Amino acid sequence: MTPLERRSSFSLASIFALRMLGLFLVLPVFALEARKYPGGDDPALVGLAMGMYGLTQAFLQLPLGMASDRFGRKRVIVLGLLVFAAGSLVAALADSLTGLLLGRALQGAGAVSAAVTALLADQTRDVVRTKAMALVGGSIGLMFAVALVAAPLLVAHVGLSGLFTLTCALALAGAAVVVWWVPAEPTQHKNAPRGRIADVWKNADLMRLNLGVFVLHTVQMAMWMAVPALLVHAGLGKDLHWQVYLPAVLVSFIFMGAIFSFERRGRLRGALLLSIALVLLVQVGLGGVSWAAAGGPAPGLWTLGLLLFVFFCGFNALEASQPSLVSRMAPASLRGAALGMYNTLQSLGLFAGGALGGALLKWVGAPGLFAVTAALTALWLVVTWPLQPVGRAPH
């Protein structure tokens, strides 16, 4: 990478990191903490509030991505981060589950993922774009790890409202990064030919990746409606959940490093399928654990820790590799539309996972929830199997 490409990659990855840290901090504790609010005794409503962020983001991802083509990437990114900060503040001040739901909806209105990834594509050459996209994916995985460790500790001291206040501060820090660190954006993209959304639907491999990111985030959000309670049932207080999360996450990054060796050898398709299979294995395992716990002894912490380790191996690898594959498979004239669609499906997955997870937990319990997530992941694996092999990244 050139110095400008390194600066672009690290600065834009840091924007993703700050924003996603704020989102992920809430994830492992929301289902437990939301019960303390009026209306929090309804798991379906808790799940809706948890996933509402993804629904509003899904509606606005494409419009804001298109606005960045016309008005400039950096302007749209700053505006989106300010809206996200405002939503965080609303959630921090909420005194009911309805207030939390409104705050989460406003957070989602700050949908800047497509604009950030489009700016990264504008500022990097094709030959290094895979590395740049992987850096962004790696930053997301790292923030997920940090949040899973930090959230139980922070919520014990500042509560859920304090976490949302911290999320507001992180979003404002991200806006500062855009203004003072991200390089000036190029202007040539404004005059470049544009692909159409319809062209993305016609590309089978891009749609397989879109389905993949939808299922991945649906499963991620849904399983965290049940995982914290399983850990509590196993005898681990919520402020000590980091003792399971931290070792599982840190060791899983070794596996993500192996993914890049697969890419260098032109075997990224195989690595992608292996990662999906790992996520499927975990859903089946958690289903068995929750079924046994419903009618017998509490699940063992070692068993839950091993399952979470395997999940993080698959999740982190997929977060790094899938957006990179989208940027490589889409032709230049279609890249903005492809990334916009990819981020839209990611956001829909966040909403679907929260809403579906809450409803399933209410009506069929944790065993039924994990049966559905396993079925979704199995379908994903089948649909992704025909994906065309991707050659070695160019040097």
* Three-state helix/strand/coil letters over 97-165: HHHHHHHHHHHHHCCCHHHHHHHHHHCCCHHHHHHHHHHHHHHHHHHHHHHHHHHHHHHHHHHHHHHHH
The sign of the CA dihedral 355, 348, 27, 109 is negative
For the packed helices 268-295 and 365-384, what is the interaxial angle rounded to 10 degrees? Answer: 160
Alpha-carbon span 150 to 152, nearest angstrom: 6
In which residue are the tokens 């990244």 written? Answer: 393
Residue 198: its pLDDT value, please?
A: 66
Residue for token pair 């008005």: 71
**Which residues lie below 8 Å from residue 71, measured CB to CB, with a gap of 6+?**
none
Cα 155 to Cα 6, 220, 230, 243, distances in angstroms: 35, 21, 18, 15
Q: Which CATH number fits domain 3-181+195-384: 2.40.50.140, 1.20.1250.20, 3.40.640.10, 3.10.20.30?
A: 1.20.1250.20
Are 119 and 53 contacting, i.e. CB atoms less than 8 angstroms apart? no
Give helix then strand counts, H and E, for the chain: 14, 0
Q: State if pTM tops 0.85.
A: no
Length of the chain: 395
Domain ranges across the chain: 3-181+195-384
Question: Do 50 and 221 form a contact (C-beta atoms < 8 A)?
Answer: yes
Pick from 201, 309, 203, 200: nearest CA to 248? 309
- pLDDT for 263: 58
Phi, psi of 227 (to 5 degrees): -60, -45
The per-residue pLDDT for 237 is 81
pLDDT value of residue 130: 62
Q: Which pLDDT belongs to residue 205?
A: 87
CB 194 within 8 A of CB 336: yes
Give, for 380, the enclosing helix (H) or strand (E).
helix 365-384
pLDDT score recorded for residue 65 = 75
Q: Give the residue from 220, 229, 222 showing the smallest Cα distance to 294.
A: 229
**Helix orientation angle between 3-33 and 113-122, rounded to the nearest 10 degrees:** 160
**Cα angle: 229, vertex 152, 298; to 5 degrees:** 25
- The per-residue pLDDT for 193 is 53
One digit per residue, pLDDT tens: the chain, 395 residues?
788 888 888 888 888 888 888 888 887 788 788 888 888 888 878 888 877 887 888 888 777 877 887 788 899 999 999 999 999 999 999 988 889 899 999 998 988 887 888 788 788 876 666 677 767 766 776 787 788 778 888 888 888 899 999 999 999 999 999 999 888 877 655 555 555 666 667 788 888 999 999 999 999 989 988 888 888 888 888 777 778 877 887 787 777 666 656 655 666 788 888 899 999 999 999 999 888 777 666 678 888 989 999 998 888 788 777 877 887 777 666 666 677 788 888 888 878 888 888 889 888 888 999 999 999 999 999 999 998 876 554 44
